Amino acid sequence: MPIRSLHILFRVSVIGFLAGGAVIVLGQLLGIALGNADWVAAVEEHAGPPTFIVAGVSGLIAFVLSYLKTEDLPTAPADPRDLQPATGHGPR
């Protein structure tokens, strides 16, 4: 599978588990506001497993991506001096 496809799948999975987490938190917050303990438990019971699975897939993709060659991706400068301004003026 090409690296670019894995990057796209990784981004989609991160968005998916963040959205699922938001649904869980907001749903439980609503259940607390309504004083309904069954609602709080049901939100985690129904939205939790898909969210946790997508989070696991995202982690596995990140692990695989860490071992693949990524020549087309920008890299950090090798020397910290490369991050300094080119004017030559230091702090005063």
What residue type is assigned to position 53 of the chain?
I
Mean pLDDT computed over 46-75: 87
Instruction: Report pLDDT for 2.
Output: 82
Instruction: Report pLDDT for 60.
Output: 96
* d(C-alpha 86, C-alpha 4), whole Å: 34
Check: CB of residue 16 under 8 Å from CB of residue 59.
no
Q: Which residue has the higher pLDDT, 83 or 35?
A: 35
Instruction: Report pLDDT for 82.
Output: 63
Confidence of residue 4 (pLDDT cuts 50, 70, 90): confident
Q: Is the pLDDT of residue 72 over 60?
A: no
